[in-house]
Amino acid sequence: MKQFRTLKKDVYNNLEYFIFGFFCLIIVDTLQLVVPIIVKNAVDILASGIYSKQKLLNYGLIIASIGLVTAMFRFSWRYCIIGSSRRIERELRDRIFSHIIKLPMTALLERKTGDLMARMTNDLDAVRMFTGIGIVALFDTIFLGIASISFMTYINPLLTILSLTPMFFIILVTWRLSSLLHHRFASVQASFSTLTETVRETIAGISVIKAYINEDISLKRFSNVSRKYIDKNISLVKILGLFFPLIVLFSNLSVCVLLYFGGKMALLNQITPGDFVAFASYIWILTWPMMALGWVVNLFQRASASMIRINEILEAKPESISSKIESNLRLKGNIEIKDLTFSYKNASLPSLKNINLKIKHGQTIGITGKTGSGKTTLLNLIQNFFTPPENTIFIDGKNIQDIPLSDLRSNISYVPQDSFLFSDSIEGNILFGNAKATNQEIRENAEISQLYNEIMEFKDGFDTEIGEKGVTLSGGQKQRLCISRALIKKTPILILDDSLSSLDVSTTQKIVGSLKSATNKQTTIIVSNRIASIKHADNILVFSEGRITEQGPHNKLIKKDGLYRDLHLMQQLENEL
């Protein structure tokens, strides 16, 4: 049960609901146990040959009243206990989501999106079922089981032992199959994660699939994953298919024993006909707990396997926020990098080697170089997406590892390579950078990114819904919208990671010129393989195989025989052609 300790706080928050719910459940179960006694008395009256209309009518009214009260209290326990399981589900889902978005990039890259989605849906649903109806079934198994056996023993101890003997085999079957169920449930949940990730990846890449006419290949791939998921479930069903029929079999054997021995005792007047009817009623009442025992084991093993998977996420260490420096820190934008060498986990070679760099407040730095030369890695380290080695990156003389993450990132505006947009309006996406921005600021930043005129051509202007990932926008419009979102944040440091690649040369030069005048107090780092995007930078860095091989202003670098000059001449020739 240790894996369920995660729910301790959630259960405590709903403790009042659980207490009242179980109080109502006890009343319902108790009333169920009273009915056979009333029926017993009625049968004994009939068996005696003495007809009492008033007594039978009273018994009927009592049973009807019990039914009405039972209905009221059954609604109450379902509302309290099942409702609490839903609240626990919500609280746990919020906690998982909150934890996931606080995980470092290294932890997120190790997990597939579909797997995380499966843990927040299918696994969470399994936990909800156990904390709701599963706990109710467990309580009924214990309470009704003990109470029914007590009443049966009161009627006739010997008949109780004879009738319950087959049911003891249920305990043996449950014990033998419980561990096997746990492992197979875990396998099913893991397979569901793979299935979810395959669906997510296919839908996300549907345009590529259609472009390459690979629908059949994608279907075959999905069918294979789906077949494996079904095979895992069939393997589980084989156990469940044996489990529940055996429970029903042994329960019915108890009824057979009762009919034989109980009927014999009734004929010999060792028990009254009413005792026999009451005993049969308690056997049938006891059948539910026996069947519920199998269901509880089913729900428990599924929830147990799911909680282990959920705990794997919750136990992953989130990004920590240091308190060495006061919060709400406002940085100037002086960046210094000292002897920085960095390797990704399991990488054979370092991505960055011996990087030394000084960027003064207000400077514009251009970075270019071959693909995979470490440009984006450097930007990720500056933002502490990945933890750099100790004492290698400083901002305003402070080690970035000593700066709280919230302060560090609130001082940096970032436009990534992937122009990610939310399924919202144009205005909503811009305001994501600064929810307090005014309409005038939204317009000004849209003008700086050369997007304002195009926005006004849309029917709904800034209120235009752009769809999932900005599907209704062109690549260039997406990039400029991301730039607007970054600019409105108004930070001392601006980072553009190859975020001008989809723009023509003319638009690129206009944006760079606007940035130069609008960000004269802002430290700006522009990564691009297009010389037009970085030629006006104060200093340009050329990366190759994780090292800075060239640096200096544009006019100086084009005179050297190196990679930058080659890129400049090649792009100049392309523009002329």
Residues 550 and 527 in one domain: yes
The most confident of the ranges 52-56, 191-195, 287-291, 335-339 is 335-339
What's the pLDDT band for 551 if we cut at 50, 70, 90? Answer: very high
Q: Where are the alpha helices (H) located in 1-131, listed in sequence order?
A: 8-13, 15-47, 53-77, 83-101, 105-109, 113-129
Neighbours of 458 (CB within 10 A): 15
Report the relative pairing of strands 352-359 and 335-342 from DSSP bridges: antiparallel
DSSP 177-201: HHHHHHHHHHHHHHHHHHHHHHHHH
On whether residue 322 sits in a domain, the answer given is: no
Backbone phi and psi for residue 118, each to the nearest 5 degrees, phi listed first: -65, -35
- State the DSSP string of 452-466: HHHHHHSTTGGG-B-
**pLDDT level of residue 323 (50, 70, 90 thresholds):** very low
Q: What is the reported pLDDT for 525?
A: 93
Asked whether residue 15 is assigned to any structural domain, the reply reads yes
Q: Do 181 and 304 fall within a single domain?
A: yes
Residues in the chain: 577
pLDDT > 90 fraction of the chain, expressed in percent and rounded: 28
- The string of pLDDT tens digits covering residues 142-159 is 888 888 888 888 888 888
We report the CATH number of the domain holding residue 519 as 3.40.50.300
Using pLDDT thresholds of 50, 70 and 90, give the confidence band for residue 320. Answer: low
Q: What value does the mean pLDDT take over residues 250-273?
A: 82
Is 493 a residue whose pLDDT tops 90? yes
* pLDDT 10s digits, 291-301: 667 678 778 88
Q: According to the model, what pLDDT value does residue 115 have?
A: 84
Q: What is the distance between the alpha carbons of residues 189 and 62, in angstroms, rounded to a whole number?
A: 48
Averaged pLDDT, 250-254: 79
Question: Do residue 193 and residue 269 come from a single domain?
Answer: yes
Which tops the pLDDT comparison, 505 or 124? 124
Contact 386, 105 (CB under 8 A): yes
Q: Is the pLDDT reported for residue 44 higher than 80?
A: no
Q: Assign residue 107 the CATH number of its domain.
A: 1.20.1560.10
Same domain, residue pair 308 and 405:
no
- From the list 198, 188, 177, the residue with the least C-alpha distance to 232 is 188
CB 488 within 8 A of CB 445: yes
Q: Do the beta carbons of residue 488 and residue 437 sit within 8 Å?
A: yes
Whether the pLDDT of residue 324 is over 60: the answer is no
Give how far Cα 560 sits from Cα of 368, 545, 553, 576, Å: 15, 19, 11, 22
The region of weakest confidence among 184-188, 369-373, 442-446 is 184-188
Q: Is the pLDDT of residue 416 over 50?
A: yes
Q: Round to whole Å and give the CA distance between 441 and 464.
A: 18
pLDDT averaged over every residue in the chain = 85
280 domain residue, yes or no: yes
Looking at the domain assignment, is residue 323 inside a domain? no
Quickly state the pLDDT bin for 326 (edges 50, 70, 90): very low
pLDDT tens track for 423-437:
889 999 999 988 888
340 pLDDT band (50/70/90 cuts)?
Answer: very high
Phi, psi (degrees; rounded to nearest 5) at 551: -160, 150
Q: How many CA atoms lie within 13 A of 106 on its CB side?
A: 15
Is residue 324 situated within a structural domain?
Answer: no
Which band of pLDDT confidence, cut at 50, 70 and 90, is reported for residue 488? Answer: very high
Alpha helices in 488-542 (DSSP H): 505-518, 531-534
- At 51 the pLDDT is 63
Q: What is the dihedral of CA 424, 428, 429, 434, to 10 degrees?
A: -150
- Measured CA to CA, the distance from residue 318 to residue 304 in angstroms comes to 24
Q: What percent of the chain has pLDDT over 70?
A: 95
d(CA 501, CA 487) in angstroms, rounded, equals: 18
- Rounded to 10 deg, the angle between the 135-155 and 273-314 helix axes is 160
Q: Among 170-184, 486-500, 553-567, which stretch is predicted with the lowest mean pLDDT?
A: 170-184
Out of 200-214, 365-379, 542-556, which region has the weakest mean confidence (pLDDT)? 200-214
Is the predicted pLDDT of residue 315 greater than 80, yes or no? Answer: yes
User: Does a structural domain hold residue 503?
Assistant: yes
Same domain, 6 and 92: yes
Whether the pLDDT of residue 519 is over 70: the answer is: no
Residue 195 lies in a domain: yes
Range of the structural domain that residue 551 is part of: 335-411+491-576
Check if the beta carbon of residue 114 is closer than 8 Å to that of residue 75. Answer: no
240 has pLDDT over 90: no
CA distances (Å), 571 to each of 503, 530, 539, in order?
14, 8, 20
Confidence of residue 512 (pLDDT cuts 50, 70, 90): confident
What integer pLDDT is reported at residue 321 of this predicted model? 53
Question: What average pLDDT score do residues 241-257 get?
Answer: 78
Angle at 448 between CA 411 and CA 428, to 5 degrees: 65
Q: Tell me the C-alpha distance between 153 and 231, whole Å.
A: 46
Asked if residue 286 and residue 342 are part of one domain, the reply reads no
Q: Are 268 and 380 part of one and the same domain?
A: no
CA distance 356 to 388: 14
Angle between helices 113-129 and 83-101 (to 10 degrees): 160
**Highest mean predicted confidence (pLDDT) among 97-101, 206-210, 319-323:** 97-101
Together in a domain, 217 and 115? yes
Which has more pLDDT, 176 or 195?
195
Q: How far is the CA of 286 from the CAs of 22, 29, 248, 291, 298, in angstroms?
A: 19, 12, 12, 9, 19
Closest of 394, 304, 407, 377 to residue 109, by C-alpha: 377
Say if CB 500 and CB 528 are below 8 A apart: yes
pLDDT, position 382: 93
- CA–CA separation, 167 and 247 (whole Å): 8
Going by their DSSP bridges, the two strands 393-395 and 335-342 should be labelled as: antiparallel
User: How does pLDDT run across 267-290, given as a tens digit for each residue?
Assistant: 888 888 888 888 778 877 777 677
Chain centroid, CA 497 distance in Å = 29
Residues 197 and 224 in one domain: yes
- Section 12-39 average pLDDT: 89
How high is the pLDDT of residue 241? 76
Across residues 21-47, what is the average pLDDT?
A: 84
Where is the domain boundary, 259, 282, 314? 314
Amino acid at 419: S
Same-domain status, 233 and 346: no
* pLDDT given at position 165: 82
How confident is the model over 459-483, as a mean pLDDT? 88
Is there a single domain that holds both residue 477 and residue 551?
Answer: no
Q: What is the mean pLDDT of residues 49-62?
A: 78
Q: Residue 43 — pLDDT band, cuts 50, 70, 90?
A: confident
Better-scored residue on pLDDT, 242 or 413: 413
Final residue before a domain boundary, out of 481, 515, 532: 481
* Closest CA relative to residue 302, chosen from 196, 192, 139: 192
Q: How far is 80 from 17, CA to CA, in rounded Å?
A: 5
Q: How far is CA 159 from CA 32, 43, 276, 429, in A?
A: 21, 19, 10, 74
Provide the token pair at 497. Answer: 């990671």
**pLDDT beyond 90 at 47:** no
Specify whether 240 is located in the same domain as 375: no
Q: Is the pLDDT of residue 68 over 90?
A: yes
Two tokens, residue 129? 């079922």
Q: Mean pLDDT lowest for which of 25-34, 169-178, 497-506?
A: 169-178
Structural domain ending residue among the three candidates 430, 448, 481:
481
Q: Which contacts (CB < 8 Å, 24+ apart) does range 245-251 have? A: 246/169, 246/170, 246/173, 247/170, 247/173, 247/290, 247/291, 247/293, 247/294, 248/291, 250/166, 250/167, 250/169, 250/170, 250/173, 250/290, 251/166, 251/167, 251/170, 251/286, 251/287, 251/290, 251/291
Q: How many domains, in total, are found in the chain?
A: 3
Q: Which of 545, 553, 461, 536 is nearest to 500 (CA)?
A: 536
User: Could you tell me whether strands 547-552 and 398-399 are parallel, antiparallel, or unpaired per DSSP bridges?
Assistant: unpaired
In the prediction, which pLDDT does 355 show? 93
The reply to whether 326 falls in a domain is no
